Structure 1
Amino acid sequence: MQHLSGVSRGGTEPGRFNTSNLIAHLKKHHKKKHEDFRESSKAKQQASCSLQQPTLAESFARRDKLPRDSKKAMAITEKIAQFIVLDDQPLSVVSNVGFKRLMEHLEPRYIIPSRHYIVDKTIPRMHEEVKKCIAAHVEKANAISFTTDIWSSDHRPLSLLSLTAHWVDTDFTLQRAVLHAREFRGSHTADAITHAMEEMLHDWKIEKNKVHVVLRDNAADMKKAMNQLGVSSLGCFAHTLQLVVHEGVLSRRAVSDALANGRKIVGHFKHSPKAYSSLEDLQIELNVTPKRLQQDVQTRWSSTKYMIDSLIHQKRPLHAYSSEENHTLPAILTANQWGLLEKTSKVLTPFEELTTLVSAASATTADVIPSVHALVRFLSKESEDDHGILTMKATLLDAVHRRFRHVESEPLYTVATLLDPRYKDKYFTNPENLGHAKAALKAAVCKVEEELKTTPPPDVTEPVDKTPRMAGASSSLGSIFDEILEESSTAAGPSDQITTGAICEMESYFCEAPIERKSRKEKEEEE
């Protein structure tokens, strides 16, 4: 590199320096280094071209908006519609400034459609696609159970008739889908309900022979409608529990008077921010966890229990509030009424647990007979803590016996209980009913066995650990379930009679102990 000392840099001023003379020197005296330099420069130039500004045509192409019917624009519009539907977003979200800015940042070429376009075009198209998918699954199902109800909208003065399908697919996975939530106009007569149900089943091309059972409320017209429709039906267990609670507890004069005063107290704080602020200050001062008082809905007994519990939790702050001169309450609870509410809450706890259980997505008809048995045993037991609520428990027990007297003679309940590996035949209280239940199960097993002789069973695999679970043993009823199971007689051995292979399997099934009601995960969570 000794030759570089004499290479001119283009002048003596730094602003006039260049590399031309140096490149010429490399080319003349150092050819190998010059070739390396050229290759390096060429690579840098190519990389620079890829980062340079777009051409005029490219700039116009990027500036142009996506046509609404383009593949990308339609995909984005569908995702927006899914966002609205799945997350319960208002249709006006497409007009919100923040949402518009987000979409402009993500894809400047996309034109956000109006809410009317979403309603008139996109959502109906999505509805048809989802409906076709559900219809295909429903068509494959061998039997389908339904839940139906008539309920009123909180936003408009109208009634809606809903129909939800439940079925088990070929992988033994429980599936469900809301098929209808249609407006139900006119009187809710049995004939009108029957006609509406027939239309809904016809729309989905579901034959009545595929309807296993329809779960309904206990209204006489609804029950009559199912009979006229020619399908099996069962009353809602949670609704029946509500009737039991109203008859056994909430209808008692002393309890209803205490609840009326409690509602007035809750309403006072609900409608007065100033009063609630004062109560909250007292909660903090008395080291009571600040919580709002809960207003109940008289048609939902569980909300009444939650109101009672919230009042009991705030008992000390409420006493302190009412003792101050400048604070007045529209009603007061006497010492006897406070005691009555505490006892009412205690006796309603197992009813709340059962309501939560049967309202879960995994609940089945197999839960009914064991739940009734456990509830009867709970109400029949007497303890030192029952002082003052013996009459209440006796009234509830009588209502339970009266409302649920037929559950052990209903095949839909009994067969489901026998087939549930958590219960099997351990929770029946009447041996005669158990005998009838096993006979019904044997008849069903023999029928299936005969059908399988001509039609091979589908190639399916039962999933692992998909058994629905009961409430944990830490609940007030959990220990009673275990107690009933321990006291149940040992299952009889296999019959000496000549039986088919399927019947042998069934008898072997009953000889095995029921599986645990709680999964390993639930046990670990309790610990």
Structure 2
Amino acid sequence: MPSRHYIVEKAIPQMHKEVRKCIAEHVESANTLSFTTDIWSSDHCPLSFLSLTAHWIGPDFTPKRAVLHARDFRSSHTADAITNAMQEMLREWTIDTKKVHVILRDNAANMKKAMDQLGVASLGCFAHTLQLIVHDGLLSQRAVSDAVANERKIVGHSKHSPKAYSALEDLKEELNIEPKRLQQDVQTRWSSTKYMIDSLIHSKRALQTYASEGSSNLPATLTGNQWGLLEKTAAVLKPFQELTTEVSASSATAADVIPSVRVLTRFLSNQSEAHLGIQTMKATLLGAVRIRFSHVESEPLYAVATLLDPRFFTNADNLEHAKEAVTAEVVKMEEELKKTSDEAVSQPAKKIPRREGASTSSSLGSIFDEILEESSAAAAGPSEQQITPGALVQVESYLSEAPLDCKNSPFHYWRDNQAQLPILAATAAKFLCAPCTIVESERLFSTASIIIDEHRSRLTADHAEMLIFLKKNLHIMLGLQKGESVEMGESVEIGE
């Protein structure tokens, strides 16, 4: 058996070197890179890590990502310290800041200032902003916040009392209720509050029966009015939950932000009798969405990405602004491509048409349909006299089509049409490589929390970074899809 010294000092560093070399080749071949970054501190040892995850579009228009660093970050979390650390990490991979499209960060002031000092474009995490909006909404109406507080006490009691937990499970079995544990929420994750409400509503009959027994000893009970408020609150928060799930997917891009904001705004603006009793919370949510996302439609990084996603168009009011931004980017891309190719840009060939189909099956599907119909009418193609030569023909031809079905992948569309729309496809690859959240960095730190636990609290920062790097990137060198692993018994040889 190889010794511990061999594994730590030779095998892991050699494997890290080989994987790093493979990742460096991928990063160097990418024309444009976007990044996500975040800071994490361990609960088991005095270590903090600053992450850097790269995102880009491959030649076959497949989204790619790789963890470049989970670096030990010992200094104070000031903007200057973050800027210096980011510069050093980019320098290690010989990445020029001109190659950086955008960096996704959290909404902290130090991170925003650091990106400004670095001289790169940056965007706040969409999911983090949704967290702030829902948190404000839950606290805005006293009746709702009181009901949630009582619910939290009930769930906590069932978790800390084996007797109460067993009694509830027995009642669910007697009442033929599907077994489902009550879930405790976490203050920093609004979605956990939604899951807690759903689990309580699912066990409503069992809880009411249990509360009616004299020996229940529940620390709080819910009135009929509070049960109604919780059910209506769950209905209002459902779109937020669906959007959070969608934007947290690995395929989500910056193009998902504007449509999501438009759908949320319209959903919260609609008056419904089903939401009577929680108007204050609903109005607060609507106001928070409008204030915190007031800039998204005027932000070129979002507007251009949305217009280059064949599933979406921006709203009619800002369509011209977005078209101007796309046109400017396409002209810039045309000039860059001419520097690397002597071939002149000609009229585009016949494109593969966008496939139409049924809208998404989520609760927001009808609202998506309304917005897309309005936007499609506003995006009608111009007359032949208005068409200009070169790259602009590709823009007008692309915008003259109806939006793609929301279930289809924008990457598949551009993969099929990049030969016919080369300049527009290159621009799409630049803007669609940007995610809209820092979920990948948070998933990275979930891995870090498993590697650095109470039994491995003396693990050094360098060894921890090597293990994190291999865990997140080894599948790239092995040619596996993310999530696949080497089967037991397979041999993996690193190096010669």
TM-score range, shorter chain: 0.7 to 0.9
Q: Is the 8 A contact 1:353 1:471 kept in 2?
A: no
Could you tell me how far 1:150 is from its partner in structure 2? 1.4
Query: Given the alignment, which residue of 258, 263, 269 partners 1:380?
Result: 269
SS at match of 1:349: helix
SS at match of 1:484: helix
| Matched pairs, number | 398
Could you tell me how far 1:505 is from its partner in structure 2? 1.7
Aligned counterpart, 2:465: none
Structure 1: where are the runs of 5+ without partners?
1-111, 459-463, 521-527
Q: Distance in 2 between matches of 1:490 and 1:435?
A: 9
Decide whether aligned partners of structure 1 residues 448 and 356 sit closer, same or farther in structure 2, where only a CA change above 3 A counts: same
Deviations 1:110-140 (A, max 9, x none): xx22444323321121111111110111111
The question of 1:194 aligning with 2:83 is answered yes
Q: Distance in 2 between matches of 1:326 and 1:115?
A: 56
Shift >4 Å, 4+ stretches:
469-472
Aligned counterpart, 2:153: 264
Q: Is the 8 A contact 1:145 1:167 kept in 2?
A: yes
Could you tell me how far 1:472 is from its partner in structure 2? 6.6
Could you tell me how far 1:355 is from its partner in structure 2? 0.5
Q: Distance in 2 between matches of 1:507 and 1:471?
A: 25
Decide whether aligned partners of structure 1 residues 191 and 167 sit closer, same or farther in structure 2, where only a CA change above 3 A counts: same
SS at match of 1:514: coil
Decide whether aligned partners of structure 1 residues 130 and 268 sit closer, same or farther in structure 2, where only a CA change above 3 A counts: same
Query: Given the alignment, which residue of 39, 50, 65 partners 1:161?
Result: 50
Q: Distance in 1 between matches of 2:91 and 2:279?
A: 52
Aligned counterpart, 2:29: 140
SS at match of 2:38: strand
Aligned counterpart, 2:391: 502
Per mean C-alpha deviation after superposition, the further-off stretch among 162-171 and 295-304 is: 162-171
Decide whether aligned partners of structure 1 residues 273 and 117 sit closer, same or farther in structure 2, where only a CA change above 3 A counts: farther
TM-score (norm. length: structure 1): 0.72
Query: Given the alignment, which residue of 183, 201, 221 partners 2:72?
Result: 183
Decide whether aligned partners of structure 1 residues 180 and 230 sit closer, same or farther in structure 2, where only a CA change above 3 A counts: same
Aligned counterpart, 1:448: 333
Query: Given the alignment, which residue of 267, 272, 281 partners 2:170?
Result: 281
Decide whether aligned partners of structure 1 residues 165 and 209 sit closer, same or farther in structure 2, where only a CA change above 3 A counts: same
Q: Is the 8 A contact 1:494 1:508 kept in 2?
A: no
Q: Distance in 2 between matches of 1:147 and 1:471?
A: 33
Aligned counterpart, 1:339: 228
Deviations 1:58-104 (A, max 9, x none): xxxxxxxxxxxxxxxxxxxxxxxxxxxxxxxxxxxxxxxxxxxxxxx
Query: Given the alignment, which residue of 205, 209, 220 partners 2:98?
Result: 209
Decide whether aligned partners of structure 1 residues 147 and 476 sit closer, same or farther in structure 2, where only a CA change above 3 A counts: same
Decide whether aligned partners of structure 1 residues 474 and 454 sit closer, same or farther in structure 2, where only a CA change above 3 A counts: closer
Q: Is the 8 A contact 1:373 1:429 kept in 2?
A: no
Query: What value does the CA root-mean-square deviation take over the aligned residues?
Result: 2.4
Aligned counterpart, 2:59: 170
SS at match of 1:177: strand
Query: Given the alignment, which residue of 475, 479, 501 partners 2:366?
Result: 479
Aligned counterpart, 1:226: 115
Query: Given the alignment, which residue of 184, 192, 196 partners 1:295?
Result: 184
Decide whether aligned partners of structure 1 residues 429 and 392 sit closer, same or farther in structure 2, where only a CA change above 3 A counts: farther
Per mean C-alpha deviation after superposition, the further-off stretch among 140-149 and 253-262 is: 253-262
Identity of aligned residues (%): 71
Q: Is the 8 A contact 2:185 2:192 kept in 1?
A: yes
Report the AA paired with residue 287 of structure 1. Answer: N
Decide whether aligned partners of structure 1 residues 258 and 386 sit closer, same or farther in structure 2, where only a CA change above 3 A counts: closer
